[in-house]
Amino acid sequence: MKPVLAAGALAFALAAPAVAGPDPADWDAVLAEARGQTVYWNAWGGDPRVNAFIEWVGDLAAARHGVRLEHVKLADTSAAVTRVLSEKSAGRDTGGAIDLIWINGANFAAMKENDLLFGGFAEALPNWRLLDPDANPALVTDFTVPIEGYESPWALAQLVFEHDADRLPDPPRTIRALADWIAQNPGRFTYPQPPDYLGTTFLKQVLLELAPDAGALSAPVDEAEYARQTAPLWDWLDEVSPHLWRGGAAYPANEPALAQLLADDEIEIGFAFNPGRASAAIAAGELADTVRTFVLDGGTIGNASFVAIPYNASNIAGALVIANLLLEPEVQARAQDPAVLGFQTVLAMDRLEPADAERFRALELGIATLPPEALGPVLPEPHPSWMTRIAADWLGRYGVAQ
């Protein structure tokens, strides 16, 4: 299948005057420039399986393209945003310390707004032809913010809940029912402390189900509407907080910490932003094989994970190579394998060569992974300003020292 680059090349040409750098429409030149470069990929480092996958991608990049990949492990993506912003403030417009960032949501919006990104590259990548953004708008819109080629998707995510089917065969499937269940089962539910991404995602899920006008969440926060839209969220949290794990006096720090509580039988219901996480944990011997996943009636929040290149990256060509490599069917299929990560692919099966499509058909998704048709509707992310404001207000109301 020949690359289709015309549309992407046009998008890059329109953006090129604003940002200097290699032209991904001339891919041979990009490959030549990238050889020998070291790409510093700032990415979340909180999951050993993710870390191992990134290391594998690095080995592949070195073998195929002579590009060395260094994983700079982050606890919070905002640290990378702050670093690039500090470099821009100091006038360091070339030779930046960060070449690639795993990013989405509020962090992407902040970098795009502050002209901190190398732009217009995504749709010019050779492997962009394997995506179908018309069928999946999450590939070109990030938390309602148009991407415009400033980041490239590499994984899809959707919120799923996890439970042991032997102990809890019929879990609650609405936010209201969950509150009732928490009151009846004190100490058996919790969520990561915001501003952790999974904790704030859970708060947004509650908000989407309870807000008087969920459509208002797609626009930036309006002060006149904020109190009205969020009042049911705070009422719900006031109701359940005394009945949470440790009485709401402590919260797990992140997704791995929440997963450990489920594995240790300290909580009855967990959740993740990866429909394949439970199967991957079962395959690794970390969860009982009776654990299953479920979604809420009416759907759960979903989005895409992206990689972006800072405007002043030292090794833009190498970063482009990594972004394109992440879209290779071999790499995407490995990421979707529950024995590796269990991530959902961004590729469109009808755009793959038959042998590549077979990679995905051959995958055993795992006993805890819901089939795509059972995941239900994917709810769009609210505008990033809602997440930022809600996380800050949550800390003032319920936050505890970690």
Encoded amino acid at 64, one letter = R
Structure confidence at residue 399 (pLDDT): 80
b vs e for 57-76, b when ≥16 Cβ sit within 10 Å of the residue's Cβ?
Answer: bbebbeeebebebebbebee
Instruction: Please tell me which residue, 95 or 20, carries the higher pLDDT value.
Output: 95
Looking at the chain, the whole-number percentage of residues with pLDDT higher than 90 is 83
Q: Is the pLDDT of residue 140 over 80?
A: yes
Task: Please state the pTM of the whole predicted model.
Answer: 0.82
Identify the residue with better confidence: 7 or 249: 249
The residues, any chain, with a CB within 8 Å of residue 287's CB and separated by 6 or more, are: 262, 263, 278, 281, 368
**Residue 188 DSSP symbol:** S
Task: Inform me whether the pLDDT recorded for 18 exceeds 90.
Answer: no
The mean per-residue pLDDT over the stretch 302-331 comes to: 97
Separation between Cα atoms, residue 250 and residue 402, nearest integer Å:
8
For each of the domains in the chain, give its residue range(s) and CATH number, in order of start.
6-155+304-365 (3.40.190.10), 158-302+377-398 (3.40.190.10)
Q: What is the per-residue pLDDT for 338?
A: 83
Q: Which of 53-62, 201-210, 375-384 has the lowest mean pLDDT?
A: 375-384
pLDDT of residue 390: 96
Lowest mean pLDDT: which of 31-45, 140-154, 312-326, 372-386?
372-386
pLDDT in tens, 71-122: 999 988 999 999 999 999 999 999 999 999 999 888 999 999 999 999 889 9
State yes or no: pLDDT of 11 exceeds 70: no
pLDDT band at 19 (very low <50, low <70, confident <90, very high): very low
**Which among 310, 317, 312, 328 is positioned nearest to 38, based on CA atoms?**
317
Average pLDDT estimate for 224-245: 97
Both structure tokens of 238:
């006031």
pLDDT band with cut points at 50, 70 and 90 for residue 402: low
C-alpha neighbours within 13 Å on the C-beta side of residue 318: 24
As given in the structure block, the two tokens for residue 370 are: 């819901």
Across 9-32, average pLDDT = 67
Q: What is the pLDDT of residue 371?
A: 87
Does residue 66 register a pLDDT over 60?
Answer: yes
Tell me the per-residue pLDDT of 150-209, one tens digit each, with 9 for 90 and over: 999 999 999 999 999 999 999 999 999 999 999 999 999 999 999 999 999 999 999 999
3-class secondary-structure state, position 344: strand
